Each structure stands twice: as C-alpha cells, then as structure tokens.
C-alpha cells in the first residue's frame, strides 16, 4: 500500500473524505499548507506529510531538525475552531499522545504547552499557526535517532526509537485531532491534558515583560494557560516557555511512573 492509502486507512471511515498528500521532501509542511490555503488551492480539512523537511520550523523562530527516514513531519489544516475550549495546541498534544500510545504502547508526558517527552527526551513538538482560512497544526515526531545523533541545537531532542509506521501514526493523529477540533469544549480533552502534563507542583522559571521570574505551577487554566504563583501572586501564562527550576526534565520524569 502507498503512504497516502496507509494514512487514509488509519484515519478510519469517518475521516476518509479528508484529502491527504504524502511528499518525500519539502521545505516545511506548515509553510506548504499556508501557501496553498492562501492561494485558494486547498481548503480545510487537508493533511500533508513529508519524509523529510529542509527548513522544518519550530516555535519561537527555532529550527526543527527533520532528516529523512527518522521521523514523521505532518501538518493538518483545520477549519477555524470555536473559541470555547483550551486551544488547538492543547487538543493537538492530547491527540498525539493518544495516537502514539495506540501505535507504540509508549505513554508520553506533556510539558506545557506543546512538547511531548518520553524518558526525559523531547520526542515531539507542535507548531500551530492561525491564518484567515483556518488553523495549521504542524506536528513533528522523532521516531528514530538520526545517524550521528541529534545536533546540539536540538536541545533535549530524542527519539522514540520505534519501528512504528509513520503513515499509520499520521492517520491516527489526524483522526484524533479532527475529532478534538469538532468538540473542543468537551472537558475530556482538557482533563486528559492535565493528567499528562508533568509540571503541576513543580517550580519553574519564565519571563514576564522581560523580567525573569520563578514560581510554582498550580495547573492548567480552562483556556489552556499555565497557572503559576510567584512573589507577586497568581498569574496565567498564555504563551512562551517555562524551564524547570532546580531539576532537569529527565530527573523529574524518571521519578514519574511510566
Ligand atoms: C517545536 O517543537 O517548537 C514545534 C516543532 C514543530 C515541527 C513540525 S514538523 C511538521 C511541521 N512543519 C514545520 O515546519 N514544523 C512543524
């Protein structure tokens, strides 16, 4: 079976009408969807995958290392999502966790807001971008360690080191995310995110208006923000990134039941 057929098969009958394109190589699947949607060549929903990206993009202007034969790089164009609910990045994180668990049996942990960790390593990143035609959700999953390992700029990146079929995984992720996008207000999505998010109760560092802060994570707000308390009181972080206070993600996660 060809890749596109395998993806459709894994998406199941409910989502079989969704157009799917599987490329060998592209610059960035997010960028390709953005251009095609803006030019009116595609409309939501639409799924694009690639075996390799030459200019994979991460959050906060970072690069996402995307070599051939080692990962799944996919972008799903969704229709605009209702405002109620925790936001598309939260829904996508849960969708990927569910799909990875079904496909590999491994249970990932979520680091707010969009990183998935397994055994202390970041195995997946999510980049959601809103455009007037809809929302592009880009997902990169490191399935295998590239020959020579990940470059130093990839930070905590690691791989699942699984033989999982990336087409089947792409189909499952897309199916869960399409379902989530239909019912973002369903409390089950946020509850599952909260259960899988390992920062609650931990001290973290973050930046507010350019000032470095350290605070305690209280949980995840209904809109998907991170609830923290520090010397100035309670606040909700809406975007950006937090880093762990005294211990590394690896130390912390190895203490969690897997
Ligand atoms: C992050 O960890 O900062 C987000 C990484 C998102 C990477 C995916 S791979 C598929 C899609 N295309 C891109 O250029 N980026 C996203």
Say if residue 212 is in the same domain as residue 234: yes
Q: Is 8 in the pocket of ligand 1 (CB under 6 A)?
A: no
How many whole angstroms separate alpha carbon 158 and alpha carbon 143? 9
Q: Do 44 and 78 touch, CB atoms closer than 8 A?
A: yes
User: Is residue 132 in some structural domain?
Assistant: yes
Say if residue 177 is in the same domain as residue 227: no
Given this model, what pLDDT does residue 245 score? 65
Pair type for strands 233-237 and 20-26: unpaired
Q: Taking the model in full, what pTM does it have? A: 0.94
CATH number at residue 218: 2.30.30.100
Q: Is 50 in the pocket of ligand 1 (CB under 6 A)?
A: no
Say if residue 182 is in the same domain as residue 213: no
User: Is residue 209 in some structural domain?
Assistant: yes
DSSP state of 241: -
Say if residue 8 is in the same domain as residue 41: yes
Say if residue 46 is in the same domain as residue 123: yes
Ligand 1 centroid from CA 87, angstroms: 17
Residue-by-residue DSSP string for 145-175:
PPTT---GGGTTB--------HHHHHHHHHH
Say if residue 138 is in the same domain as residue 249: no
- How much of the chain exceeds pLDDT 90, in percent? 86
Which atom of ligand 1 is nearest the CA belonging to 28?
14
Say if residue 188 is in the same domain as residue 228: no
Q: Do 23 and 170 touch, CB atoms closer than 8 A?
A: no
User: Is residue 258 in some structural domain?
Assistant: no
Residue range 8-31, pLDDT digits in tens: 999 999 999 999 999 999 999 999
Say if residue 138 is in the same domain as residue 113: yes
Strand ranges of the sheet holding 71-78, from the earlier edge strand across to the other edge: 20-26, 46-53, 71-78, 134-142, 121-131, 115-118, 109-111
Q: Do 112 and 226 touch, CB atoms closer than 8 A?
A: yes
User: Is residue 67 in some structural domain?
Assistant: yes
The domain boundary, picked from 147, 163, 196, lies at: 196
Say if residue 191 is in the same domain as residue 208: no
Q: Do 180 and 189 touch, CB atoms closer than 8 A?
A: yes
Residue range 56-82, pLDDT digits in tens: 999 988 999 999 999 999 999 999 987
Say if residue 100 is in the same domain as residue 138: yes
The residue with greater pLDDT, 7 or 256, is 7
Say if residue 172 is in the same domain as residue 244: no
How many whole angstroms separate alpha carbon 194 and alpha carbon 130? 24
Asked whether residue 213 carries a pLDDT value surpassing 50, the answer given is yes
User: Is residue 24 in some structural domain?
Assistant: yes
**Residues in CB range of 50: below 8 A, 6 or more apart:** 22, 23, 24, 25, 26, 29, 66, 73, 74
Say if residue 189 is in the same domain as residue 140: yes
For the chain, the domain total comes to 2
The residue with greater pLDDT, 244 or 200, is 200
Q: Which domain range does residue 50 map to?
A: 3-196
**Residues in CB range of 75: below 8 A, 6 or more apart:** 29, 30, 32, 33, 47, 48, 49, 136, 137, 138, 139
Q: Is 112 in the pocket of ligand 1 (CB under 6 A)?
A: no
């Amino acid at each position: 079976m060809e890749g596109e057929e395998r993806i459709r098969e894994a998406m199941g009958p409910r989502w079989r009408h969704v157009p799917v394109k599987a490329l060998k190589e592209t610059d960035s699947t997010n960028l390709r969807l953005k251009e095609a949607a803006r030019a009116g060549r595609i409309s939501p929903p639409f799924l694009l995958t690639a075996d390799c990206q030459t200019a994979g993009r991460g959050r906060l202007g970072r690069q996402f290392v995307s070599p051939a034969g080692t990962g799944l790089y996919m972008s799903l164009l969704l229709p605009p999502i209702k405002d109620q609910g925790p936001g598309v990045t939260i829904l996508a994180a849960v969708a990927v966790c569910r799909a990875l668990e079904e496909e590999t049996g491994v249970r990932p942990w979520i680091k707010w807001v969009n990183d998935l960790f397994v055994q202390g390593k970041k195995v997946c990143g999510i980049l959601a971008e809103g455009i007037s035609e809809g929302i592009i959700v880009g997902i990169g999953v490191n399935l295998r360690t590239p020959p020579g390992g990940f470059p130093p700029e990839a930070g905590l990146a690691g791989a699942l080191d699984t033989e999982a079929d990336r087409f089947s995984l792409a189909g499952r992720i897309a199916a869960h995310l399409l379902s989530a996008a239909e019912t973002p207000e369903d409390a089950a999505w946020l509850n599952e995110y909260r259960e899988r998010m390992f920062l609650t109760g931990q001290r973290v560092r973050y930046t507010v208006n350019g000032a470095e802060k350290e605070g305690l994570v209280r949980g995840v707000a209904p809109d998907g923000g991170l609830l923290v308390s520090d010397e100035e009181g309670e606040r909700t972080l809406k975007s950006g990134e937090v880093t762990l206070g005294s211990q590394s993600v690896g130390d912390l996660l190895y203490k969690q039941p897997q």
